[in-house]
A = this chain, B = another copy of it.
Amino acid sequence: MDPDRLAQQIRFIVEIDKLKSVYRRTILIDKSRNENSAEHSWHIALMVPLLAEHASAKIDMLKTMKMLLVHDLVEIDAGDTYCYDATAHGDKADREEKAAKRIFALLPPDQRDELHALWEEFESQKTHEAQFANALDRLQPLLNNFYTEGESWKKHEVEVGQVLARIRPLMDASGSLARFAEQLVHSAREKGYLR
């Protein structure tokens, strides 16, 4: 084994430790603090084998899990862009593309290309895997919001229409997960978690 190759892999593994210090708007269900993007990625990667049976189309589980484990790495440079912040979304794509180039380039070329392609596939939302991954990425914060009585929604004055728009892509990925998510949003409104 080429020792330079292993050194490059280790350099990348050390670099991505930084994702543990990128904090999201989502609050942990125990309300102790905001969630970070590394543990969020763990949560949704584990949701793949648990919920794959609900996908509208057969998905490649290994690919979907890898995609979710890497999909937020660009936030190490670009930060987490809050999904209900329209202004920050203006230059999000540019910031993230630049970040992807730098971070994945730490790896040996073949792995750099594989991970960069996985990230792009997620962003493009054209394959069944990318759509199902996106559905899980949207479902998990919904659960955390619901089970903290809308803590983060209330703090950021989020309205029910915004959340319904946010979960709309679930419909293509999974009818049953989309119906479940809609029911949860309506229940959140009834309970006063959402305006």
Contacts and interface: CB of A to CB of B under 8 A. Distances in A.
B32 A21 contact: yes
Most chain B beta carbons < 10 A, residue from A17, A42, A69, A180: A42
A8 to B, nearest CB: 10
Nearest to A46: B69
Nearest to A176: B1
A191 to B, nearest CB: 16
A185 to B, nearest CB: 14
A195 to B, nearest CB: 23
A43 B38 CA distance: 8
Contacts of A28: 17, 20-21
Given A21-B30, A35-B20, A50 B6 contact: no
Given A28-B21, A51-B9, A46 B143 contact: no
A66 interface: yes
Contacts of A140: 13
Contacts of A17: 28-30, 43, 143-144, 147
A30 B18 contact: yes
A46 B159 CA distance: 35
30 contacts: A6-B177, A6-B180, A13-B47, A13-B140, A13-B143, A14-B29, A14-B143, A16-B46, A17-B28, A17-B43, A17-B144, A17-B147, A18-B29, A20-B28, A20-B35, A20-B39, A21-B32, A36-B39, A38-B42, A38-B43, A41-B42, A42-B42, A42-B45, A45-B45, A46-B69, A50-B107, A50-B111, A61-B62, A62-B62, A65-B65
